[in-house]
Chain A
Amino acid sequence: MGILSIILKRLGLGVLTLFLVSIIIFMAVNMLPGDFAQALLGQAATPEAVAAIRADLGLDRPIASRYFDWLIGAARGDFGTSFAQANFSAYVGENSSSNYGSVATQLAPRFANTVFLASVTAVIAIPISLIIGILAALYRYSVFDRVANVSTLTSISSPEFFVAYILILVLAVLNPLLPSLSNIFDGMSFGERLEKTLLPALTLTLVVTAHMMRMTRAAIINLLASPYIEMARLKGLSPFRVIVVHALPNALAPIINVVALNLAYLITGVVVVEVVFVYPGIGQLFVDSVKIRDIPVVQACCMVFASAYILLNLLADIMAILSNPRLRMPK
């Protein structure tokens, strides 16, 4: 009963969070100067042309009615048509079966790209951070520990674009090993895709490693003072075995939490890296859409971001509970 009710409660709260996020984003985008019609027309914006576009898209209606229309659609899983492609979709014709210009068709490939980048990064970063973290705990206060700490802290303290440019300089310009452009597209083989994704993935690895590695180290060291660890040591077990078999299982909960948080970050927060490497992920679509005030796309992106945080945090909590018998049986 325990874990299921927790999941349901959390999902309920998650839906409420999404609802609040959608209101805040909708209001925020509307408060920005300029709207889609003005952004699209730019210097060519005559009052008539602006009015024509607003009328086409229903932007002349009151904000509340626009929001509720969106909400009703979203509740049914229909995120509407992106303003950017609305012009276009009108030309495809009624007998066309494709739903060209819908937010979903625009978002889906971008989201898949973002998940791909996040996965490649995770596959590199999580094992590295765990291993360095465990080794740092094992040889704490040694030269290795200090070098690991200083170097990961340096990379997390540098702005992402700076890390990206350094990697481009070293791995693409001075030693042309990897491409600095990560413009992946449909129809690319997995190998090509991986090659193009490697530089942004390495950049992100440098950005997220410190957090995960330091949490691993701290959680393990924290446990080393416990009586049961002392017992294990007194039994004459090797320090490595003490840490991996005795300390690590109990340190998993905080580590999983940090990993989940970093995964959520990889899905929502990599805009800068995407721009630097021209990676067609959801972050760039989000920024492009905010720039032209394409509210349906902005809303959908935010829903994806918020859902990623909610679901990954939920997943982390569930896994933390499962990993800890004491939490499995709440009093």
Chain B
Amino acid sequence: MTNQFSRRTLLQTSAAAGLLSTMGMPAWAAPKHGGRLRLGLAGANTSDTWDSRTHSDNYMINMGAGCVFETLTEVASDGSLRGELAESWEATPDAKVWTFNLRKGVKFHNGKSFGADDVIESMKMHVEEGAKSAAKPIVSSVDEMKKLSDTQVQFTLKSGSADFPYLVSDYHICIFPAGMIAEAISKGIGTGPYQVVSFEPGVRTLVKKFEDHYRADTVGYFAEVEAIAIADASARMNAMMTGQVDAVNRVDFKTVPLMKANPNVEIIEVTGNMHNVFPMLCKMEPFNNVHVRQALKHAVNRQEMVDKILLGHGAIGNDHPIGPANQYYAGNLPQIQYDPDKAKFHMNKAGLGNLKLDLHVSEGAFAGATDAGQLYSNSAAKCGITINVIQEPADGYWSNVWMKKPWCASYWSGRATEDWMFQTAYESGQPWNEAGWENERFQSLLKQGRSELDSAKRRDIYTEMQSLCSQEGGTIIPMYQNYLDAASTKLAHGPKVGNLWMLDNSRISKRWWFA
């Protein structure tokens, strides 16, 4: 037990390290201030608002948590957790009571000082009556919030959660000024390094540097950030190629060679946790039969999908949702291969004869889902399984098809931690448990891992969970999709680019600068 590295010490040291790294810039770079960063972003909507509870697409994540607001903690570009509005944090040994020490001298854009009340009120926004927050499951795991002092908040959880500091880095949980949240939402008032100049939902946003920011020297180097909503992929690529914007997200795979040929453009490609999935409702016939699920796992040609759907911009999946951006990613598990013989073997075991299945797909599930369905159908035919691909309209797909039809296409951006990902889409009783796969061992490991602070034990737990999920789970995960962005070579960034979300975890405005 001597070499046991406690999760608690780890968390404390990483918090301290986070603090250190914000105090002085490392030697490899001397970021310069100034200039207007022009972003051409897909994912804007006329329904966009500054209410971070409703942020779901890249545009508002970039402008909300990425510019105007701040969260308690943030995931750094290298994947480690560091404080944003929190300076440090610590837990009781059962990971049930968490105390956050907040930064001092922080001001909101309207001059109000930041303190514990703001944190508590901002957290409560997610669980108030009728709230439509996507972070509701996170905040409702908190039993009690207590203000210890102006700069100290204590959260008592309903059950231990070692990942709690990670969870509060969620871009939905931005900190608003207490007592004026309504005004802050209507005008966009946060503590972030940029304050709102103009905001036209679905069209354009302009923010400028907030001079009173407490870390104005080390966060948010641009004088202004302009985000232009460009939904059309060709228009976005044109704008990048002709230098009318400095960075774009969601580069069209087909245009990568063209962009690479342009000396002024740098392609930013990272493999993160984003994955495309085909969940099967495990309570329905025939997916309640584990052999049917296993036959289908061997009937998909994963490499072919990566090559043809993602044009190589991705990696094959192994039917568990933990990706290379996760801490306890088990990359050494046996890879499930395309194997018609094994598929036939499991079909015989299932004893259902020649199987005919409907697979519901839509471009709304993920780009290329229809083609992926066709490839699946083709490869499965060689295994004696007939897959009938049904194309559904993208509109209303998530409400009318997903989790309603026994087998369909879907996608996940992934989460920063194993527990977060599993609890979102794999835990019994959660609203987005898309396959409804019930495995006692898996569910008990999930609870066990959550309150375990010992890193080595957690690795064992999460490895076993990934293995179970891969072998018996109800979700086919053929591929991880890379985040593919492009930026002007005039821009500079740290040694690593975050792989949790697009554009350096959607924090390009806070982290990058003009060289």
* Chain A interfacial positions (CB closer than 8 Å to B): 32-35, 38-46, 49-50, 52-53, 56, 82-85, 87-88, 91-93, 100, 106, 109, 165, 168, 172-173, 176, 179-181, 183, 185-186, 275-278, 280, 285, 288-289, 291-294, 297
Contact = CB atoms under 8 A, between A and B. Distances in A.
Given A85-B47, A85-B49, A181 B235 contact: yes
Contacts of A45: 398-399
Contact of B232 (A38, A42, A93, A278): A278
A106 B235 CA distance: 24
A45 B401 CA distance: 12
Contacts of B134: 44
A222 B45 CA distance: 51
B142 interface: no
Given A34-B400, A91-B182, A183-B204, A168 B393 contact: no
Interface-centre pick from B46, B234, B396, B432 (highest chain A CB count, 10 A)? B46
A275 B399 contact: no
A278 B202 CA distance: 11
Contact of B47 (A40, A165, A278, A280): A40
B186 A92 contact: yes
Given A41-B132, A294-B47, A276 B228 contact: no
B45 A181 contact: no
A82 B48 CA distance: 12
B244 interface: yes
- Counting chain B CB atoms within 10 Å of each CB, the highest count among A32, A38, A181 belongs to A181
B428 to A, nearest CB: 16
Given A44-B134, A285-B202, 20 more contacts: A34-B400, A40-B54, A41-B398, A44-B432, A45-B399, A52-B130, A87-B51, A87-B54, A91-B186, A106-B46, A183-B203, A185-B203, A276-B232, A276-B235, A278-B228, A280-B203, A280-B204, A292-B46, A294-B46, A294-B47
Given A172-B242, A185-B204, A288-B45, A88 B51 contact: yes
Given A34-B400, A91-B182, A85 B201 contact: yes
A42 B413 CA distance: 14
Contacts of B203: 183, 185, 280
B130 A33 contact: no
A100 B187 CA distance: 11
Contact of B410 (A43, A87, A165): A43
Nearest to A187: B198
27 contacts: A33-B396, A34-B396, A38-B400, A40-B47, A44-B56, A56-B130, A85-B47, A87-B49, A88-B49, A88-B185, A91-B186, A165-B234, A168-B238, A173-B238, A173-B242, A179-B242, A180-B238, A181-B239, A181-B244, A181-B245, A183-B203, A186-B198, A276-B235, A277-B235, A278-B232, A278-B239, A294-B47
Contacts, number: 138
B230 interface: yes
Contact of A172 (B49, B238, B431): B238
Contacts of B45: 84, 288, 292
A93 B182 contact: yes
Contact of A181 (B132, B183, B228): B228
Contacts of B238: 168, 172-173, 180-181
A168 B242 CA distance: 10
Interface string B149-186: 00000000000000000000000000000000011011
Contacts of B410: 43
Interface string B229-247: 1111011001101101100
B421 to A, nearest CB: 14
A146 B234 CA distance: 34
Contacts of B431: 46
Contact of B399 (A38, A93, A165, A176): A38
Contacts of B239: 180-181, 278
Contacts of B397: 34
B277 to A, nearest CB: 12
Contacts of B51: 87-88, 91
